[in-house]
Amino acid sequence: MAQPLNYLKETASQTAGPYVHIGLAPGDAGFNIYANELGRDIIGPNAKGTRIKVTGTVRDGTGAPVKDVLIEVWQANAAGIYPGKGDVEDGFRGWGRVISDFETGEFTFETIKPGAVKNQNNQIMAPHLNLWLVARGINVGLNTRMYFGDEAMANAADPVLNLIEQTQRRDTLIARAGRTNYHFDICLQGDEETVFFDV
Amino acid sequence: MTSDELYQRDREWHPPAFTPDYKTSVTRSPRLAMLSLQASESELTGPTFGQCDIDPIDSDLINNYAKTGDPIGERIIVHGRVLDENAQPVPNTLVEIWQANAGGRYRHKMDTYLAAIDPNFGGCGRTLTDENGYYAFRTVKPGAYPWRNWVNNWRPAHIHISVFGTAFAQRLITQMYFEGDPLIAKCPIVNTIPDSRAIDQLVAALDLNATVPFDSIAYKFDIILRGHRSTFFENRPEGN
Ligand SMILES: [Fe+3]
């Protein structure tokens, strides 16, 4: 026997369940309790950069929309700075919560397009939003990224996208670009399964 | 910036994505391998919250939605610490909870269980840990409730808990159960977790020392987030 290491174990995850909105977005569950509901505004009033709107649907393995998903967004500002890592605009939180429509499953949120950020090896990562998905039936929250379809050059050089061996699967992380709107569907399972990350 | 990286998540400790006895997971579980990444600032930073974001009453579920009196049910205190795998406290981190009322009914427009809505109980709370990682909520003990997984399943009494930590990759949602509940062992959601020690870690202990005599009984529940790696030797710098 060797000495015990005495590390603690991370608390195991459990599904957020169908009523995640009560805890994290009670207004959407159908009642008002908090004066200040968190995650409603990703960027605040002073954010510089291009304002964008993102829409999409999360689909299950049968192609059906997931109507009870909650997505958290975490992003840098337009200069590529994460809050806590340097000065960002007053009120810029970089974090938000989005839920899908209970009837249609479509989600929508507004933010600004983030700037590029360097990874630990000083390589430039293309602009991206970090997403974390929870819902009934998802046992451990799923991490993924949304890249921008109008950043073809930056995406081609992105060190994370380039890790994806099946090159056609890289497209699962790239939102279709309109003028200021982006469309990003997430597939939990199936032929178009989105690339999820173990980070 | 090399010191912030986290211990890898022990995927054998967490439930796998595909757990057919919990039927909803069947079509909602990714089947392809996740892509393992070296974390970057995108994963190692995360949102922070302050006292200005919340109200002190938010952590008191007995009072935070009361309209005409106290909610019905067994008055409880749920308290503990948020620590990381190195047993270091995680201070000033946001802890959010939600739960059914004492009858097992959620205040949610999609919940149609026949148990009564309690007009004085909302069912959600939030707080920040203090400088020692300590948190406390006051609430009523939630009831068990039925759900159609197999024909006749009952969830053990539980409180849903969401925690942030300092890195987006520490983000965690889990459920807390109550010591001594016979429904825990029968729950297909609990049993998505393969290791019984990991299940035991989700069961809050009755804590008589923390009760308020003639007022509230107490349960203690510590929450462990992923730990940060310490760097004893710098990596060879890349690119120079
Ligand atoms: Fe529940």
What domain count does chain A have?
A: 1
d(CA A97, CA B110): 20
Q: Is residue A55 part of a domain?
A: yes
Handedness of CA B163, B164, B166, B170 (dihedral sign): positive
Element (H, E) at A20: helix A20-24
- Is A46 within 8 Å of A90 (Cβ atoms)? yes
In chain A, residues with a C-beta closer than 8 Å to the C-beta of B83 are 8
- Select from A11, A20, A94 the Cβ nearest to the Cβ of B201: A11
Nearest CA in chain B to A82: B45
Please choose, from the candidates B114, B78, B54, the residue with its C-alpha nearest in 3D space to the C-alpha of residue B203: B78
In chain A, residues with a C-beta closer than 8 Å to the C-beta of B162 are 16, 23-24
Q: Could you give the residue numbers annotated as active site of B? A: 106, 145, 155, 158, 160
pLDDT above 80 for A180:
no
Q: Is residue A195 part of a domain?
A: no
Pick the residue of B10, B44, B45 with the most A CBs within 10 A to test the interface with A by mutation.
B45
pLDDT of residue A179: 79
Q: How far is CA A102 from CA A26, A29, A114, B109, B149, in A?
A: 14, 10, 29, 10, 21
pLDDT of residue B4: 80
Start-to-end CA span in chain A (Å): 32
Quick one: tokens of B85? 């795998």
B187-224 in b/e burial notation, b at 16+ Cβ within 10 A? bbbbbbbeeeebbebbbbeebeebbeeeebebbbbbbb
For A96, the domain range is 16-187
pLDDT of residue B238: 53
Average pLDDT estimate for A183-188: 98
CATH number at residue A86: 2.60.130.10
Band the pLDDT of B237: cuts 50, 70, 90.
low
d(CA B39, CA A74): 14
Contact flag A12-B15 (C-beta cutoff 8 Å):
yes
E strand map for A5-84: 51-59, 70-74
Enter the pTM of the model: 0.97
pLDDT digits (tens, 9 = 90+) for A48-68: 999 999 999 999 999 999 999
Q: Is residue A4 part of a domain?
A: no
Contact flag A60-B27 (C-beta cutoff 8 Å):
yes
pLDDT digits (tens, 9 = 90+) for A94-108: 999 999 999 999 999
Residues with CB under 5 A from ligand 1 (ion): A 17
A17 alpha carbon – ligand 1 mean position (Å): 6
- Select from B10, B28, B40 the Cβ nearest to the Cβ of A119: B40
Contact flag B173-A29 (C-beta cutoff 8 Å):
no
Contact flag B238-A64 (C-beta cutoff 8 Å):
no
Contact flag A137-B28 (C-beta cutoff 8 Å):
yes
Look up the ipTM and state it.
0.97
Q: Is residue A11 part of a domain?
A: no
Q: Is residue A139 part of a domain?
A: yes
pLDDT digits (tens, 9 = 90+) for A63-92: 999 999 999 999 999 999 999 999 999 999
Q: Is residue A175 part of a domain?
A: yes
DSSP label of B64: S
Those residues with Cβ within 8 angstroms of residue B3's Cβ, 6 or more apart along the chain or in another chain? B228, B229, B230, B231
Q: Is residue A8 part of a domain?
A: no
